[in-house]
A and B are shown apart, each in its own frame.
Chain A
């Protein structure tokens, strides 16, 4: 049985009916699979990736867990209109399911991993449900027998996001801005999608670079390769000004999360 079957079986146990289960690729790998779930009037359409959770490998503490994000296709994790891309991790030992936002982790390399803390899994096993910060790279975990408790977290991923971005570069022209950030080093940048809102923050995260709120109108990821260095990914946001921060800029920035450095 594949991990995706485990996930669907868990939802089946709590009353959700699988109305569609269709692998995107022909072949052995079920990652990703189009999944439609139904319960009463509720419907849920996912593009689901699922893997077994394993202990982290060498170079890590060895105490936490990861999924190795293997898939049937080249390139980034897929997104499809009308479906939420989510990644599941199956912890058979604890009888726990973990989940992460596929959009945020879309640009993981083909053989890279998504990590999940042991404490998150332990808490889910003990209390039924647990969430892991930061919110722009969050995880949730739940007892397999209470799988439907993940649905609120999954639904939350569709809400408009507001965060800071520490740009590599930005250009403001009238009410428009083009903002570029490192996809991996400027964490919230990977989290943002069309219609989400951002402010520009300094490297130290202590001041705003500009008083505007920017609404993301388009997102483009580029691979930048420099000789002798590993390729980097940058994300460029085409934005329009959505509003302005009028006062208490420092408090405002602080409330968005992140840890200022001096």
Chain B
């Protein structure tokens, strides 16, 4: 007798379903344990704060994410560097779900998302065997977590397992995820995902657990490289915009960015002589931070009718990392790190301005005219010339 024969009679329960996908149906009907929006939002806020994630209008943003996830799958969209993957992890943890992340590429097809056949040698026979794509594989893991969570003897604290698809729009996701339309529909019809490549009857369909969620993340800026979505797909995912921190949050944001950069430096190259608190509070770093603050206030936000350039916190962290690397070679006076900042802005920020509109570039240019940042100015001139001439 096979194990599935025992599970059918109820004589046995199993926690892993990779040999019999159908057996996962026994746990697939369980819904998320709590729909207490206020409590979940508060938990999400705590977790986001714990991870130093600065979100604009955080309460409302997290509440929208919580409500969206209670109803189905979501896509976090927004400018690069705004912490979307981190937010995705926070949301999974909020719901007591384990999670893993896959990064979409332009090569993704239904083979990657759903699965297919791949050649192998099995039992001495050269043969084609099923390969489960990211979504059904994550769904099976979800079923395992649910099954173990259901069993008090197992002491599994998590209620589900979710999938984060980073860079969601890099893939031709509408095409790749197409066969999931029915099962992601969120309607009342509980139908399994058919797997044409299943080698046995028990592996030819899989029920996506009701507790299973996909969180996609995508940059809304990088439009040169993204595929668009059909309305059908958009209906199956709620899109939540994650923007850059508000103007009022800049000081806190920069302090957090300094801390993140300092932690990176300490973990990577730091020796006993490096002190994180000293780095964060260094007057030379503080002077450079004033320039960064001025830049963000001038170029980041949609002021005076012109669109801002939503520079993310991650890009600012990159600048601070370079400052951390250059700090040991800087002089003692307060302004001695500004030259280092000039190089960092030229190398880390300006190259990302390639997609900006003329009016956005003009705003940046205008701000630069008032600064002593000659290399940044040169970098911007070069970028504009390159855009105009191709050289």
Q: Which A residues are within 8 Å of any B CB, using their own CB?
A: 42-46, 81-84, 154-155, 157-158, 160, 162, 174-175, 197, 213, 215, 241-248, 251-252, 255
Known contacts A44-B125, A241-B15: A197-B6 contact under CB 8 Å: no
4 nearest A-B pairs in the assembled complex, by CB-CB distance: A158-B123, A243-B14, A43-B126, A84-B124
- Nearest-Cβ distance from residue A227 to partner chain B, whole angstroms: 43
A-B contact list, 18 entries, CB within 8 Å: A42-B125, A43-B125, A45-B125, A154-B124, A158-B122, A160-B19, A162-B3, A175-B154, A213-B12, A215-B16, A243-B15, A244-B12, A245-B6, A246-B10, A246-B13, A247-B11, A248-B11, A251-B11
Asked if B1 lies at the interface with its beta carbon under 8 angstroms from chain A, I say yes
Q: How far is the CA of A248 from the CA of B148 in the complex (A)?
A: 21
Q: Which A residues are in CB contact (< 8 Å) with B12?
A: 213, 243-246, 252
Separation of A251 and B13 alpha carbons in the complex (Å)? 16
Q: How far is the CA of A47 from the CA of B259 in the complex (A)?
A: 59
**In the complex, number of A-B residue pairs with CB atoms less than 8 Å apart:** 75
Given A175-B154, A244-B153, are A45 and B10 also a contact pair (CB < 8 Å)? no
Q: How far is the CA of A175 from the CA of B127 in the complex (A)?
A: 34
Secondary structure dominating the interface of B = mixed
| Closest B residue to A85 using CB positions | B124
| B2 sits at the interface (CB 8 A) | yes
A70 to B7, CA, bound (A): 44
* Bound CA span A43–B125, Å: 5
**Chain B residues with CB below 8 A from A155, complex form:** 123-125
Verify if B282 is at the interface (C-beta below 8 Å from A): no
Check A243 against B124 for contact (C-beta < 8 Å): no
B153 surroundings in chain A (CB, below 8 A): 244
Chain B residue at minimal CB-CB distance from A155? B123
Instruction: Please name all residues of chain A whose beta carbon is closer than 8 Å to the beta carbon of B19 when the two chains form the complex.
Output: 160
Question: Which of B12, B124, B127, B151 gathers most chain A CB within 10 Å?
Answer: B124
A242 with B11: CB separation less than 8 A:
no
Interface centre among B7, B19, B125 (most CB of A within 10 A): B125
Contact with A along B123-162 (1 / 0, CB 8 A): 1111100000000000000000000100101110000000
Residues of A within 8 A of B248 (CB): none
Q: Which of A44, A215, A245 contacts B124 (CB 8 A)?
A: A44
